[in-house]
A = this chain, B = another copy of it.
């Protein structure tokens, strides 16, 4: 189910509130406006020497595919704390948080992915309930064809590009050579 399912609540109706310029879900009884805004995903790229840690997802979407530790940011935490929380929950690691690496806007699904660099001083891992396995990969062994999401591709490459820069300017867009076509299929036929 999605937020759109609020439509099922009898009292909500779509209308443009006074002073606004777009439709919102508004309660016809009390006037409560249910604003729907982008959600933040926080995560980190954990590096141990020359290796990068990835988790294989135990849950959908993209169960069985590989990802960095990441998940929805919770109320009351910072972006960095959220990334560290996810690293602990999904991989059982407590890395040292590095610099901000990427702030990607994924307009198609209204998410903003905020990713950090991170360094591990131990290769001990412990898959959480959302991970089938957790593994350290050399760069050339990363399962590129079995990564869970486009932004995992992007951020791994952006991490690699700035491997030795302590405070890179963060990336906000896909790498220039990114193959959108491969992920999102054929463009609609022209009329």
Contact = CB atoms under 8 A, between A and B. Distances in A.
A110 interface: yes
Contacts of A19: 129
Consensus secondary structure, chain A interface = loop
Interface residues of A, number: 40
Contacts of A5: 30, 32
Given A1-B32, A72-B35, A103-B103, A172 B77 contact: no
Interface string A73-110: 11111111100000000000000000110010101001
Interface stretch (A37-45, A61-69, A138-146): A37-45
B30 A1 contact: yes
Interface of A: 1, 5, 8-9, 19, 22, 30-33, 35-40, 72-81, 99-100, 103, 105, 107, 110, 112, 114, 129, 167-170, 172
